[in-house]
Amino acid sequence: MGTDNRHPAGGLELAYARGSTTKQSLERQLDALNAAGIPDGQTYVDKKSGATVDRPGLADLLAYARPGDTIVVYTLDRLGRNLREVLNLVHDLGEKNIGVRSLADPLPINTADEGMGRIAFLLLALFAEMERTFTAERAAHARAVAEAAGRHIGRPVAHPEDKIEYARLLKARGESLGQIAAKTRIPKTSLHRYLATATGETESDMPA
């Protein structure tokens, strides 16, 4: 499939199909592309999933496509491993005057159209940007709520809280770090951090 290097004059419809570890059956994609009138000789295939970086079929297709051609896929997600990658690729193809058309997306897209197909793609890009914003806002809100509740943010504490509290009690009694480490089995390096955080001291202020 897609092995003829000769490119006839006039815009071609070139198909691309990629296998998936989930619901995207390669056979279903090929059947739909064939039903759309695209011959096997103009169809490029990658059998591995999108998690695989190496996609020789897509690379061959992109090397063969010329201005005026249209790349046809079953759904847009076949073109990349994530939405950002798909959007970047479709944008780059548009810069080269190569269109992209999907057959089975909820709102089928044809970027070669000046009408609804192009609007649909622009909406996809907008939704992607909105989702990145919402994700960042949700993460920031979760951090703010956790900090307000006094919960630890970031890397999990390596030692149980009750041991840390015991270490703080021993320090308040005047015991040395060596004695506290022996009783709690918390390394001195960690004790420096836990106890300095509790008292507001710097680690250099604490006796060994």
Give the active site residues.
20
Phi, psi of 110 (to 5 degrees): -140, 105
**Whole-angstrom Cα distance, residue 95 to residue 90?**
9
The amino acid occupying position 165 is E
**Could you tell me which residues come within 8 angstroms of residue 93 by beta carbon, excluding any fewer than 6 positions away?**
65, 71, 99, 100, 111
**Whole-angstrom Cα distance, residue 110 to residue 91?**
13
Kindly give the residue spans of alpha helices, DSSP state H, lying in 46-156. Answer: 56-64, 83-95, 116-148
